Structure 1
Amino acid sequence: MTVVRTRFAPSPTGYLHLGGARTALYSWAFARHFGGTFILRIEDTDLERSTPEAVQAIIDGMQWLGLDHDEGPFYQMQRMDRYREVVGQMLEAGTAYQCYSSPEEVEAMRERMRAAGDKPRYDGTWRPEPGKTLPPVPAERKPVVRFKNPLDGEVTWDDVVKGTITIGNKELDDLVIARPDGTPTYNFCVAVDDWDMQITHVLRGDDHVNNTPRQINILRAIGAPLPLYGHLPMILGADGEKLSKRHGAVSVMDYPAQGYLPEAMLNYLARLGWSHGDDEVFSMQQFTAWFDLNNLIRSPAQFNPEKLNWINNQYIKQADNERLASLARPRMLAVGAEFNGNPALAPVLALMKERANTVNELADAAMLFYRDPTPEPALLAQHLTDAVKPALVQFAERCETVEWHRPALAAMVKEVLAANGIKMPQLAMPLRLILTGQLQTPAIDAVLELFDRDVILARVRKYLH
């Protein structure tokens, strides 16, 4: 079988968006499934729009997701000599030619065709043909180089997502492959790169469908093998429109700041255009074992933030608590968390992560253990009544000797309740206020276990004088 070689080839004109990340994931997973090679290629020939910051944003997004490349990153701007070499070879072979038509002349050609109801295209003025006399070369005008596209026939390929696609060569004109200054153009660079890098499978967004017949014709002209192509449908917002900033975060690197875990994002993106039965939550090891091109979905996927939150919650519940603590701590410090004298963070998060959709939600919920616990006087007066103070005194006494784990603490609290003839809320509410400053907390025995014995005694006795 052919050794699989896939590539992810973003243009660094902005951040790594969700559609690009899904393309990268599928290309990565296909290579991993077959023990192949995954290549990162930066298509940076658009000098006006490409920036180093965008390159870094793409690399950062790939690293956060854990989509490690085997080769690269390769940069097209560092391959100019190679492109010029191939342009020279094509001119020599007669598969490309120099065109001296000015941009204004080309636009005038297209206007005439539009007026005649034809598809606007270059009319072949400078295309050499047997017996054809070319116009005189204009003085001091530098030519572009055009690809000599076949005039007849069709370009057909079996798209692994969309099925068989056929486009007539009459729909394609002789595209420019090198500008007057010698810099090559996008479709030409892509074809040469895929040839040189021995790419076997090209997975990309379906906005590239119109580029594919041009690239196929160039590959055939230079004697290169054709990869298999698969064009993935776009990702839509919940309203059915193309995903954009108004639907929320679009850049992959917005998501770690919002408290999403990379494995949750990968899992969610995997299901946006691919399925494996009814499986919803799965590891990347499972995904790469299952992934093939037969279960890619032809219709556009809809981005659903609620579903992403649900998947993120599943991963938060499975996550190592120390890892969650390392993610939550900076967020909590930024809003004034005080960790000295308060419970260790990891066990607090273990207690509270069941209901958190994001690490940010988890950090917010955990703050009740890490801020000033001074309760509002009116609330304290309402719950710390003379009737309950004897039970609190006994609770403090029992705290000095009880074994400090949740079952023993729960048993001790029940014994204090029984001895004082009161119900759980009458003791739990003032304890919650004294320890955390608020009435809504997890179960009181779980809260007690998190604090050190000395902290509990000091806070309770402060209100018993």
Structure 2
Amino acid sequence: MSERTLPEIPTVADLPGKVRLRVAPSPTGDPHVGTAYMSLFNLAFARQQGGRFLLRIEDTDRARFRADSEQQVFDTLEWLGLTWDEGPDKGGPCAPYRQSERLDTYRPYVDRLLAESKAYECWCSTERLTQMREIQQKTKQPTGYDRLCLGKTREERAALPGFSETPVVRMLIPDDVELEFDDLIRGRVSAPRPDDQVILKADGFPTYHLAVVVDDHEMGITHVVRGEEWISSTPKHILLYRWFGLEPPQWAHMPLLRNTDKSKISKRKNPAARLTWFREQGYLPEALVNFLALLAYPPATNEDGTDREVFSFDEFSAGFDWRKVNPVGPIFDLKKLDWLNGVYIRGLSVGELASRLLPFLVDDGIVGDNPSLGELARLKAVTALVQTRMAHLSEAPPLVRPFFVPDDALEIAEDARAALGDNAAEVIEAAGRALGDIDDHGTSVLGSDSGWTAEAIETALRTAIVDGLGIKPKFAFGPLRTAVSGARISPPLFESMEILGKTSTLNRLAALLATL
């Protein structure tokens, strides 16, 4: 191919946004928590700078592709509030945003490199490459392609062992390849020398290394923010930008998330690596976003100069500075996340928390898909009792269930029954007599003038059991707690009885008494 017929490299038209950043997950299963981590830092900077945040789906790995994974990416990032301006589901000036729909885009770039002898075809079979690597490892040679196909025609290569009918295309890495580059987080960085990387696979799909450069250029990406595992690939990418006569973006390589044993967090070994897991476990999205920010960024600062670990995305974005990102791989400490989640749960209004609990209660069959106004009012009252007793929303069902099951369907837990003392029957009988005397005329606690209140219940029970039977307060009410909740540990007793109402409370006391 002559110089005159070389494919043109498109220039980027004026695109919206002062800066343009992207996250580019691969749809190969449940989204990795790292996708949210990278999205958070990309989005924080884009919003601070008045820029644009793009979502691109890198689905060129067809062997590991999963059709449902893309929707999971959309759903989990939307749940976290990490929303994008352009993407497969929203469109934009750089559509399409799926690499599998952009295959015609990559071929001219490959043809140009082949024509300029900056790339070459390689016919080596998988078996031959595996054998080559094994020999290199055994003889302690540098690993990498040995350039057997370089300079050979198809016929010349076919005469040698390990030939494959369909070639791949490899970069021809020059001796003077630049190995250092500037990083927004790490300063001047040095990477190892790359080998002749495959840029076009035998199936016609580009590899990550070519596609990411082409797509980032054509989508006007100004800052590439990704994990530190890509540092070693950056010289290849800078080289491709140089060969195509393009301006490289700025680079920011984030520290990898690590398990407590310092290993890289992976979906295979750690369920918390799955982004969907956090929703299933009942974490609040704002707590997870706060936690992910703290993994690689210092706390917010109060007016008096003290640190504050609880902050919103808007606060994080407003003061964002790449120089503050800690390049040391952070430990993914779930205990810290549990603490943060509890703080956020306690900070919600009762009504808001009740609405967030509802999906977990529906899934558990405690309430139906379309709860009545009475059920919603009762849920709000129960939520006020349990708000301080949860670290996860998923802990709500066993706490809430006793308030929604029929009296004759309440199950008494074995550990609660085993803990009942010898005087349980005496306590329950005394409680029944005392509570029976309370006037419950009027509306319920949920509406209000009834004499059946937590204060009246507590007064009656303390008089009958603590004073009347001489039982110490810490031991006096255990049998009653078991009777009304079925458990040893439950929401506050007197308030629980108020919500259940007089009839239900007395029914449950009688039911347990009958079994003693």
TM category, shorter: 0.7 to 0.9
Per the alignment, residue 54 of structure 1 pairs with 69
Q: Secondary structure at the match of 1:253?
A: helix
Q: Which amino acid aligns with 1:154?
A: E
Query: Is contact 1:39–1:71 with CA below 8 Å preserved after alignment?
Result: yes
Per the alignment, residue 400 of structure 1 pairs with 441
1:371 aligns to 2:416 (yes or no): no
Count residues with an aligned counterpart: 452
Per the alignment, residue 113 of structure 2 pairs with 90
CA distance in structure 2 between the partners assigned to 1:107 and 1:434 by the alignment: 68
Task: Quote the offset at 1:253 in angstroms.
Answer: 0.4
Change (3 A) 1:372 1:218: same
CA distance in structure 2 between the partners assigned to 1:392 and 1:28 by the alignment: 58
Q: Which amino acid aligns with 2:320?
A: F
Task: Quote the offset at 1:124 in angstroms.
Answer: 5.3
Task: Quote the offset at 1:24 in angstroms.
Answer: 1.6
Aligned ranges 1:180-329 → 2 under 5 Å? 180=202, 182-244=204-266, 245-277=268-300, 278-329=307-358
Out of 151, 154, 157, which is 2:175 matched to?
A: 151
CA distance in structure 2 between the partners assigned to 1:302 and 1:257 by the alignment: 22
Q: Which amino acid aligns with 2:392?
A: T
Q: Which moved more, 1:333-342 or 1:51-60?
A: 333-342
Out of 20, 42, 58, which is 2:35 matched to?
A: 20
Task: Quote the offset at 1:221 in angstroms.
Answer: 0.8
1:362 aligns to 2:362 (yes or no): no
Per the alignment, residue 12 of structure 2 pairs with none
Query: Is contact 2:76–2:276 with CA below 8 Å preserved after alignment?
Result: yes
Aligned ranges 1:423-434 → 2 under 5 Å? 432=481
Q: Secondary structure at the match of 1:294?
A: helix
Out of 416, 423, 427, which is 1:383 matched to?
A: 427
Task: Quote the offset at 1:62 in angstroms.
Answer: 1.5
* 1:221-278 alpha-carbon deviations (Å, 9 max, x no partner): 1011111111122111122222244444321101211111111111111111112353
Q: Secondary structure at the match of 2:181?
A: strand
Per the alignment, residue 409 of structure 1 pairs with 453
Q: Which amino acid aligns with 1:232?
A: M
CA distance in structure 2 between the partners assigned to 1:305 and 1:176 by the alignment: 39
Per the alignment, residue 450 of structure 1 pairs with 499
CA distance in structure 2 between the partners assigned to 1:310 and 1:407 by the alignment: 39
Query: Is contact 1:347–1:450 with CA below 8 Å preserved after alignment?
Result: yes
Change (3 A) 1:305 1:419: closer
CA distance in structure 1 between the partners assigned to 2:378 and 2:32 by the alignment: 37
Per the alignment, residue 303 of structure 2 pairs with none
Task: Quote the offset at 1:371 in angstroms.
Answer: 2.8
- Gapped regions of structure 1 (runs ≥ 5): 128-133
Query: Is contact 1:432–1:438 with CA below 8 Å preserved after alignment?
Result: yes
Q: Secondary structure at the match of 1:99?
A: strand
Q: Which amino acid aligns with 1:195?
A: H
Change (3 A) 1:178 1:315: same
| TM-score, with structure 2 as normaliser | 0.75
Q: Which moved more, 1:175-184 or 1:102-111?
A: 102-111
Task: Quote the offset at 1:298 in angstroms.
Answer: 1.1
CA distance in structure 2 between the partners assigned to 1:431 and 1:179 by the alignment: 70
Q: Secondary structure at the match of 2:324?
A: coil
Q: Secondary structure at the match of 2:102?
A: helix
* 1:291-319 alpha-carbon deviations (Å, 9 max, x no partner): 22111111111111211111111111122
Change (3 A) 1:87 1:406: farther
Q: Secondary structure at the match of 2:176?
A: coil
Query: Is contact 2:442–2:450 with CA below 8 Å preserved after alignment?
Result: no
Query: Is contact 1:233–1:301 with CA below 8 Å preserved after alignment?
Result: yes
Change (3 A) 1:259 1:98: same
Query: Is contact 1:16–1:58 with CA below 8 Å preserved after alignment?
Result: yes
Task: Quote the offset at 1:459 in angstroms.
Answer: 7.0
CA distance in structure 2 between the partners assigned to 1:36 and 1:407 by the alignment: 60
CA distance in structure 2 between the partners assigned to 1:142 and 1:438 by the alignment: 67
- Gapped regions of structure 2 (runs ≥ 5): 1-16, 89-96, 159-164, 301-306
Change (3 A) 1:315 1:406: farther
Per the alignment, residue 67 of structure 1 pairs with 82
Task: Quote the offset at 1:116 in angstroms.
Answer: 7.8
Task: Quote the offset at 1:117 in angstroms.
Answer: 6.0
Per the alignment, residue 101 of structure 2 pairs with 78
Change (3 A) 1:457 1:85: same
Q: Which amino acid aligns with 1:161?
A: I
Change (3 A) 1:446 1:118: same
Per the alignment, residue 176 of structure 1 pairs with 198
CA distance in structure 2 between the partners assigned to 1:271 and 1:401 by the alignment: 52
Q: Which moved more, 1:429-438 or 1:230-239?
A: 429-438
| TM-score, with structure 1 as normaliser | 0.83
Task: Quote the offset at 1:178 in angstroms.
Answer: 2.5
CA distance in structure 1 between the partners assigned to 2:49 and 2:257 by the alignment: 26
CA distance in structure 1 between the partners assigned to 2:281 and 2:137 by the alignment: 49
Task: Quote the offset at 1:19 in angstroms.
Answer: 2.1
Q: Which amino acid aligns with 1:409?
A: T
RMSD: 3.8
Aligned ranges 1:122-161 → 2 under 5 Å? 122=145, 134-135=151-152, 137-138=154-155, 143-161=167-185
Task: Quote the offset at 1:455 in angstroms.
Answer: 5.4
Q: Which amino acid aligns with 2:174?
A: P
Q: Which moved more, 1:428-437 or 1:272-281?
A: 428-437
Task: Quote the offset at 1:432 in angstroms.
Answer: 4.7
Q: Secondary structure at the match of 2:68?
A: helix
Task: Quote the offset at 1:7 in angstroms.
Answer: 0.8
Task: Quote the offset at 1:213 in angstroms.
Answer: 0.6
1:349 aligns to 2:371 (yes or no): no
Query: Is contact 1:40–1:71 with CA below 8 Å preserved after alignment?
Result: yes
CA distance in structure 1 between the partners assigned to 2:491 and 2:138 by the alignment: 74
CA distance in structure 2 between the partners assigned to 1:261 and 1:437 by the alignment: 28
Per the alignment, residue 9 of structure 2 pairs with none
Q: Which amino acid aligns with 2:315?
A: Q
Q: Secondary structure at the match of 2:296?
A: coil
Q: Secondary structure at the match of 1:309?
A: helix
Change (3 A) 1:106 1:329: closer
